[in-house]
Structure 1
Amino acid sequence: MDLYEKIRTLPTKPGCYLYKNAEGVVIYVGKAKNLRSRVRSYFLEANQRQNPKTGSLMREAVDVEYIVVDNEREALALENNLIKQRKPRFNILLRDDKTYPYIKLTLHDRHPKVFVTRKLRKDGSAYFGPFFPGNLAYRLVDLIHRSFLIPSCKVDLNRYHPRACLQYYIKRCLGPCVQDLVTNEAYRETIRDVQLFLEGRTEELEKKLSQRMAQAAEDMQFELAARLRDQIVTVHQMQDKQRMASADNEDADVFGFHYENQMLAVNLFHMRGGKMVDRRDFFWEDLPEFLNTSLNDELESEQEEVCHPERSEGPASPPLEEASISTLEPSPDHSAPQIEQENIDARAPIQRAALTDMGTELGEAFSPAVFFSALLKQLYLDQSYVPRSILVPVDFPDRAVLADLLSERTKHRIELAAPQRGDKRSLVDLVCQNAKQSYDQRFRVLQPNQKAIQQALQDALMLGELPTRIECFDISHIQGAETVASMVVWENGEMKKADYRKFQIKTVSGNDDFASMREVIQRRYKRLLDDKKPFPSLVLIDGGLGQLHAAYMALEEIGVTLQPLASIAKKEEIIYVHGQEDEPVVLDRRSPVLHLVQKIRDESHRFAVTYHRKRRQIRDRESELDAIPGVGARTRQRLIQHFGSVRGIKQAAEQNPDALTAVVTKATAAKIQSHFQSEPALPILQ
């Protein structure tokens, strides 16, 4: 069916429409109160001629599909879901989908655990949060582990293990991983205490703890009574620090932006209890093509079509009504002639002045109203917690509908406003000023200070504390020969060369990077345990998931299960954090955090390669083979290249002498065999 003919069959009901290109790929998703009228408006020649965004879309579109819904609210929610699923090129896409952390209590497990997560799933667990700032969640979880003795390791608690780890013996865990160390009833009672603590029901929890403390003291269980006393103190200390989803009316999210040179920076300030508790940055360097139009063009197009509707060519369209100055909402009686067009009246000087003050002139090729309409849908429609007040710098057509939909989903009224004056407007302007600073720092290549990078690294890798020392490991060899490892140290902003270490691989033969990494990690941190020295803030592995898991196995064998551990994969530059392998960290190529991790990784690689080359030079200069008559430098080199090492040559001579004849003559092979059988081996240089 021809596209024009298909449009005539479209219903006049609310819904979403999907434009597709010749390959069948969805390139734009939009919503409408009247599908036929809205889709038909894209084909008006006047719209395509005067608005480059519409013309660019329609030159590529060859088909359109639609989905009918009951009302505009459902269309709004469906549009958001389709954009996130299909990722159309002509829609604004929120690439930074990171959320603030929650605390997860796995109630469905036999022995529930508590840990931090950023994803909410319908898995029967209880989620608490979000927490502002992000490190508050980690501090609370650490406090729960220390005070309530809930396990903090990643050991599988759905089965029993033969022995407990170090955390149990230093009285930091109840030990549910070993049978009979704690009863199921006692563990479940502790979990109920943790749940009351996280739900903020501190009075009820304090009453229960006080009763159990008195009972323990009466039964002369003084150690248990002391632990319950400490838990009561903890509840008092954390009562004022905890920020939970049941926030008061003073909670607000405030947006600001700065647009320049076709690049955009957006700042989001989180206000909780009247105080700013955290901020979030968003950046766009490649805004979709349909935004490359000026507001002046849109206004002129609107006014021309209103005043001269007979000039429009193509299928007939209902006349546009004048936009409301107070609400800027689209009229329900007409279709929009552009994609998600914001109907800004020419007589609204307040809106024009606001846009100019924020660094976005009306003549520039950027539409803030279109942008914030798309951004807020993607940010809030899928969130379990939405603050009661959301302040944006510009008004947009879907504002009232989106506010109603969010109010319906959260069961409380959501104020979504674009203030024009007063204290709220001053707050929005302040956020816009910060957005300008973020723009300069990102796009003008201003290097952030070291503490800012550390904080960003902590947030990106979900570390429990600010990283002050990072130890990075790499393996180097050529086809398993002369395998060595390196460890470099980054500490407080600079590489600490005095703490660099070199390792010769002693227990692994051949090409096995995983086993080599396991040996090095175990040797390094067993030494730290024996010497009772502090561990680094982060152990970084040069490699992918295989090297990461090998490193964790080495730590687990020596009883270390809480050490932050990550790896950076070559080529893709993806960072894997142990315990979150399904959610790898993908940083922007311009990110100072990624540059720091790459710098440490590259230094580790350089140090390993340098040591490996040195070992090869020593091997080439001095070898046990030099003592064998008839084996010169060239023969020795061929043997090493073929068998990988002197050890490999010795094994071949002892187990399969015929293998030597692949490289040397039978006479020389006999001499090599005789040497290893009759003379004690000299120390082998690794």
Structure 2
Amino acid sequence: MVSIEIQLQTLPINAGVYQFYDADDKLIYVGKAVNLKKRVSSYFQKEHDNAKTRVLVRKIMRIEHIVVATESDALLLENNLIKKYQPRYNILLKDDKSYPWICVKKERFPRVFLTRRMIKDGSLYFGPYTSMRTVHTLLDLFKELFPLRTCSYDLSFQNVQNHKFKVCLEYHLKNCKGPCEDFQTEEDYNENIKQIVEILKGNFKETVRRFKDKMLALAGELRFEEAQIVKEKLEVLEKYQAKSSIVSSKINNVDVFSIVSDEEYAYVNFLQVAYGAIVRAHTIEIKKKLEETDRELLEYAIVDIRERFFSTSKEIIVPFEVTLAENLLMTIPKLGEKKQLLELSERNAKHFRQDRFKQEKILDPERHTNRILTQMQRDLHLSVPPVHIECFDNSNIQGTNPVSACVVFKNAKPSKKDYRHFNVKTVEGPNDFASMEEAVFRRYRRLLDEGQPLPQLIVIDGGKGQLSSALKALEQLQLRGKIAIISIAERLEEIYFPEDSIPLYLDKRSETLRIIQQLRDEAHRFGITFHRQKRSKSAIVSELDGVEGIGAKTKETLLQHFKSVKRIREASEDELVKAVGFRGKKVYEYFSLLKK
């Protein structure tokens, strides 16, 4: 077998498709390139971050290629080869669903019905539709607007003339005009079919105009009852049209594509616009195999989705430049209605992604947690996923009863048994920075002394000042650089890193920011609760401290028995004596004097 080095040297510099084979001569990967030699050589000239890519490169034993005229030709050929051979290391855009179609049958007096099978007999097929609800809504609409036959009789000219069939119940219910007995002309019936076809194409304008003209004509002839029936049908049509996502009458026959991706998956949304209305919306999920870029994934998806839904639109709206067939117009809008369409598509992709996350959280919580931690690692530029995170917050009112709180999250969830609070001991007055330094120092001094595991990430509630104070504590313990540390400032939710004056602003909807906010809010809640308990206890103790001759044990017994100082104050002498013996008399006398 010719070595890989020799095979690389003989590759052409033309556009084309390359194929990688393993030791068993099995096709394991197909790719496209503008320059085959440059692209294929790149696999063997660098160390890949992705483990799957490294494994792929090690398995390559033979390289084949097909030269084509343009990059768009390469994209189409690549897509066909992937579908045919399904190589192990290629993404495969597939959907096992058998989508429904609306068929307008090629026959005399055509029927209109739902089907999941396309038969190439000259019939018109509209779809496929991604929602059965849409199909049933359309068929119900046609039933209300147009009298159509539902029978499967062969209504050939000869059969009708020979009176082979009799009208059925649908005729008597006025749902059908009886073409089986020649009560309706073929011309009149086909006029209804023509309007149905226009509606299925997304063009309501012509049908609405016809109904209005007919209604006015009947009213002009004083046939008001018939005019009223037409008016009711017009209202049904306009009501359905209002439910459609109207974009602009200027935008016609356009496909819109957007992509949202993360470490493992990409989500591509497709909107089809016809006659100023969105007539189809569909989102697919793609599992990444190697280091595919958003551009590569979107190109795969565009080819596959347009093929699957038989799209013939000549214009495609996309968020960035991609390779398309040469007969297509690519638009990357910056503003206006087309930009709004692209943003709508992106919102649909994000909603689909969030729905997947919610399902994943229920069905596979471990995978859900790992994905969040991996996302946090990437967003915060950490060396490892932050499985163990700790967050600090200070609480005091005008410098009184200063306390600090530390809350712990493990696997992105609160670990309440590990929460700790600190009575600030070395700080006089309201010094938030010094209080933070003391709490961080005491926390990690103890973890080191006890040999407990340290967190992968520390979050400080506050800005650069609080972060600097926490860093001083870590320096004293020789932990600086060994634990990642950030702070979150509440005003704009900006994230600060050590020795970096420029903050990081995360997407307000990102899961990384959501976890950090949960940590901050939980630390604040835990700290405030402890601070209130301390202040309340301090106020109670100070009031009972005025009673001479009773100690801490008596105070505790009184509080346990009466539940509050107010009830102790209002208790009778007998009740107090009964609770704590002869000391109860001293308590009664003390509060009696205060009342005078």
Give me the TM-score of the superposition, normalised by structure 1.
Answer: 0.41
Larger Rg: 2
- More relative contact order, 1 or 2 (CA 8 Å, 6+ apart): 1
